[in-house]
Amino acid sequence: MTAIPLTLVVLVLIAALFGAASVIFTPIWAVPIGLVLIAAVAGMDAARRRRTAGRRMAALRTRAKAESVEFTERDKQTLA
């Protein structure tokens, strides 16, 4: 019967050590998690910028096709 309280004391000490270690080593886990979050936010921002740039380029190309360009004789000589 004395083994049960002794076992509980040992388990509580082990749990306390594990808890203290997890608090002490929290920066070891927090820094990589923070870096992953920063990378995810940066990636989402880059994807948004690419989408926006793609839409702008598509609109620009559509407008460029719609406008006709008339070349003068001098322009034609320069291009030739």
Summarize pLDDT for 2-53 with one digit per residue, the tens.
Answer: 667 778 888 888 888 778 777 777 777 777 888 888 899 888 888 888 989 9
Report the chain's C-alpha Rg in angstroms.
34
* Torsions phi, psi for 44 (to 5 deg): -65, -40
Q: Residue 3: its pLDDT value, please? A: 67
Are 79 and 71 spatial neighbours (Cβ–Cβ below 8 Å)? yes
Mean pLDDT of 56-72: 82
- Quick one: which H or E segment has residue 33? helix 26-66
